[in-house]
A and B are shown apart, each in its own frame.
Chain A
């Protein structure tokens, strides 16, 4: 015979102070656990979303990051002729790009942060169809004009529409703000690649990378094979999405290691708190347990009732923790991505999966904290318990 669930709920209600403490400790643990993982998942998602499976990124062989790579105009032309590249009436959808990292003061702190200044070709709109102008207009090729990603516009001083930025020897006019759908490009500033090289006294025909739009994601391997087999080129070819995924690894790994470690230790602490709460709940309820047993409830029912109470407390704590963290979802923060050496804005992402993980983490704490006391309650000899009254 099972002990009514109502008994469990009533018990949890009656001893609300210690139970509240247990709820709070579990809620805190879950909140930290989920928010740290949401941080890592947001960072990864931002970078992974930056790449498209249908795009390929070509860099000089050996360079880990785009900014370290150098490709000449001859190499770019060779790449443009490779098979598998999507074409339209304006020719192949290829964007040779030049990158310079420039330091700009942040709005929030006034201190400098590195922003990627990306010189793109006029074909970039075909290569990255997910990037849209949301204010102003696109830059005019050949003019010192820049467009600013929406996160960069929010993060850096002097990036308002119509203002002027000084990079290298040139004054650039901000003519547009673009939205790249929350990807890494949103943290960048874009301009004409040729002008960028001029401004920084670099050879005019030098680029860092070439991004190409493929006819389909399946065309990647034939494209890659063609380039790597070409004796004129020494390049490495990655799916854009893979490049960005790899880019996110170092930082996400660090956040995940530390976040999990912290949450794990907090979880252990919460288990101790749960054990303490349930054990003292138990010693205060020797009489009740004995009476229940005397009434004919089996040891298993007592075990079940106590465990259920612990799980109930844990579930409430878990939900409270999620409730605390949920407002963080979509909250934008930023950090330096060591891979590109530049500042990157990204949003916390509390995914349903993370929420589930957090909730089950709470239940796990409740189970571990509730089982030993429940076990003891179930094994309590009825006669002795009644005598101890």
Chain B
């Protein structure tokens, strides 16, 4: 027998209570996992944003276009290494609920701008050769079962009509939260078919700078270059650009934190109370252990260990269950990428242990401070 045996024996004393306590930890940590994944889905893009990329949009708003001729002018701004551009297409695949973002891209330069997206070379070459070709992110490809060689039909909303594309390539992300829901096609195809204002106008530019530390400087230089022109620009680091979307969603972070705080405060109360009851019930036995020479610290650790084991098992299972459910959320709420990384799982387990440790503190202290004489009288 070891101390472990003793802890285990205590846990088996009231199996139902142990199970319920572990289930409390489990449900709280399951929720933690879901909220954590939600946070990642909303804010992950901001963290992933490249420090060396800038986004140039029309000063009025993203929905206003910029002249295509700006591309060459931006390229000549000192500090700029590469420029590419894209247009928002806004097509609908079968039903409006099947949303995924579609960009009409400048094919020659777009792929090099986003090294985090991986495309097999032969597929990319096939895309370049086909004017009606398109590249689809693997998440969207998986969602609708698109494969290379398939024909995809979109209904235009901004650009009316029925648009047909050939799937020529499927791109993968290299990091967990990389957005693989996008759909790219040639801007030449868009100009050719849509005509009108889109000829010679792009939605936005993406710029790579030589030195990320000087990104803001370059951004200011670009904006200064087009100041007082009919199409003034607003240039931001990719991170700020992404963050501005997230910020517009309102303070979801606050919401997530509040819910999380409520959940864990409740968990703290519930498990602390349960453990206190367990200690109270066992006052006599704890007194006996003291007579046998168990020190105050021994008993403190014994009680703490008991709740920590429950926190570890319950919380661990909860967060793992969340990890199992999270991919399903990505399917239920398309357009958002839910993912739970290993560090997040580990920090969840640590959080459970922390809550367990704090919840067990008062009961453990009361066990440690127990007067043996008083405890034995109660036997």
Nearest opposing residue in chain A for B267, CB measure: A269
Considering the chains assembled together, what is the distance between the CA atoms of A276 and B23 in angstroms? 11
CB pair A102 B60 closer than 8 Å: yes
Interface SS, B side: helix
Task: Give 1 or 0 for each of B261-272: 1 = CB within 8 Å of chain A CB.
Answer: 011011101100
Task: Give 1 or 0 for each of B58-79: 1 = CB within 8 Å of chain A CB.
Answer: 0111111000000000000000
Task: Give 1 or 0 for each of A21-37: 1 = CB within 8 Å of chain B CB.
Answer: 10011001101100000
Within 8 Å of chain B (Cβ to Cβ): is A128?
no
CB pair B270 A258 closer than 8 Å: no
Within 8 Å of chain A (Cβ to Cβ): is B151?
no
Total interface residues on A, using CB and 8 Å?
A: 57
Within 8 Å of chain B (Cβ to Cβ): is A62?
yes
Instruction: Select which of A18, A200, A268, A279 is within 8 A of B64 by beta carbon.
Output: A200
Task: Give 1 or 0 for each of B322-341: 1 = CB within 8 Å of chain A CB.
Answer: 00000000001100100000
Within 8 Å of chain A (Cβ to Cβ): is B225?
no
- Given known contacts A258-B38, A269-B24, A269-B263, A62 and B250 CB-to-CB distance under 8 angstroms: no
Considering the chains assembled together, what is the distance between the CA atoms of A300 and B306 in angstroms? 37
Considering the chains assembled together, what is the distance between the CA atoms of A14 and B247 in angstroms? 49
Name 30 A/B residue pairs within 8 A (Cβ), A-sorted.
A18-B277, A21-B273, A24-B266, A25-B269, A28-B265, A31-B262, A32-B263, A62-B156, A64-B90, A64-B92, A64-B96, A67-B63, A100-B60, A100-B61, A101-B63, A103-B59, A103-B60, A111-B244, A114-B248, A200-B60, A254-B333, A258-B34, A269-B28, A269-B266, A273-B24, A276-B21, A276-B24, A333-B250, A333-B251, A336-B249
CB pair B333 A61 closer than 8 Å: no
Considering the chains assembled together, what is the distance between the CA atoms of A67 and B90 in angstroms? 11
List chain A residues, Cβ under 8 A from B35: 262
CB pair B158 A63 closer than 8 Å: yes
Interface size on B, as a range, is 35 or more
Residue with the highest number of chain A CB atoms closer than 10 Å, among B16, B64, B262: B262
Considering the chains assembled together, what is the distance between the CA atoms of A24 and B266 in angstroms? 7
| Minimum CB–CB distance for A377 against chain B, Å | 14
Instruction: Select which of B158, B161, B269 is within 8 A of A68 by beta carbon.
Output: B158
Within 8 Å of chain B (Cβ to Cβ): is A265?
yes
Task: Give 1 or 0 for each of B192-222: 1 = CB within 8 Å of chain A CB.
Answer: 0000000000000000000000000000000
List chain A residues, Cβ under 8 A from B30: 265
List chain A residues, Cβ under 8 A from B247: 106, 109, 111, 113
List chain B residues, Cβ under 8 A from A262: 31, 34-35, 259
Considering the chains assembled together, what is the distance between the CA atoms of A192 and B375 in angstroms? 84
CB pair A103 B27 closer than 8 Å: no
Task: Give 1 or 0 for each of B2-32: 1 = CB within 8 Å of chain A CB.
Answer: 0000000000000011001101100110110
Within 8 Å of chain A (Cβ to Cβ): is B290?
no
List chain A residues, Cβ under 8 A from B273: 17-18, 21, 277
What residues of chain A have their CB less than 8 Å away from a CB belonging to chain B?
A: 17-18, 21, 24-25, 28-29, 31-32, 60-65, 67-68, 100-103, 106, 109, 111-114, 167-169, 200-201, 234, 250, 254, 257-258, 261-262, 265-266, 268-270, 272-273, 275-277, 279-280, 333-336, 341, 343
List chain B residues, Cβ under 8 A from A65: 157
CB pair B38 A103 closer than 8 Å: no
Within 8 A of A (CB), among B101-134: none
Considering the chains assembled together, what is the distance between the CA atoms of A312 and B265 in angstroms? 22
Nearest opposing residue in chain A for B247, CB measure: A111
Within 8 Å of chain A (Cβ to Cβ): is B186?
no
Considering the chains assembled together, what is the distance between the CA atoms of A31 and B207 in angstroms? 46
Instruction: Select which of B17, B155, B250, B336 is within 8 A of A276 by beta carbon.
Output: B17
Considering the chains assembled together, what is the distance between the CA atoms of A335 and B246 in angstroms? 9
Considering the chains assembled together, what is the distance between the CA atoms of A279 and B14 in angstroms? 11
Considering the chains assembled together, what is the distance between the CA atoms of A261 and B27 in angstroms? 12
CB pair A279 B156 closer than 8 Å: no
| Minimum CB–CB distance for A89 against chain B, Å | 37
- Given known contacts A21-B270, A167-B60, A62 and B262 CB-to-CB distance under 8 angstroms: no
List chain A residues, Cβ under 8 A from B160: 60-63, 234
CB pair B263 A28 closer than 8 Å: yes
List chain B residues, Cβ under 8 A from A25: 266, 269-270
- Given known contacts A60-B160, A269-B266, A276-B17, A169 and B277 CB-to-CB distance under 8 angstroms: no
Residue with the highest number of chain A CB atoms closer than 10 Å, among B27, B230, B248, B265: B248
List chain A residues, Cβ under 8 A from B333: 254, 257-258
Sample of 20 further A-B pairs with CB below 8 A, known A262-B31, A265-B31, A341-B63: A25-B270, A28-B266, A62-B160, A64-B96, A101-B63, A103-B60, A106-B247, A113-B248, A250-B97, A258-B34, A262-B259, A266-B262, A268-B23, A269-B266, A269-B267, A269-B270, A272-B23, A276-B17, A277-B273, A336-B250
